């Protein structure tokens, strides 16, 4: 999922060597408490509504768990504003 969504990034898709390396800041893979997951920013909904629908439909079609969450700062890190 995160790989498919990699072209959705500020400035559009990358070209050339290394274009396939990296993820969209709107859709990134993570392991949280030992659970593999993909974090999808809700801002994708406003920026690319069709991409948001693709992600939501993919999750539904594959019986994936979808949870609404917020980003918390790491211990010792200042909160984002």
Domain spans of the chain, in order of start: 27-61
Structure confidence at residue 15 (pLDDT): 56
Structure confidence at residue 27 (pLDDT): 85
Q: Please tell me the pTM assigned to this model.
A: 0.65
CA 19 to CA 21: how far, in whole Å? 6
Structure confidence at residue 61 (pLDDT): 96
CA 52 to CA 32: how far, in whole Å? 22
Mean pLDDT of successive 10-residue stretches along the chain, which has 81 residues: 62 56 81 90 90 92 91 71 59
């Amino acid at each position: 999922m995160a790989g498919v969504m990699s072209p959705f990034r500020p400035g559009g898709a990358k070209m050339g060597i290394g274009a396939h390396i990296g993820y969209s800041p709107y859709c990134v893979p993570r392991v949280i408490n030992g659970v593999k997951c993909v974090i999808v920013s809700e801002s994708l909904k406003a920026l690319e509504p069709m991409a948001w629908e693709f992600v939501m439909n993919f999750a539904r079609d594959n019986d994936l768990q979808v949870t609404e969450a917020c980003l918390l700062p790491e211990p010792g890190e200042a909160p984002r504003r």
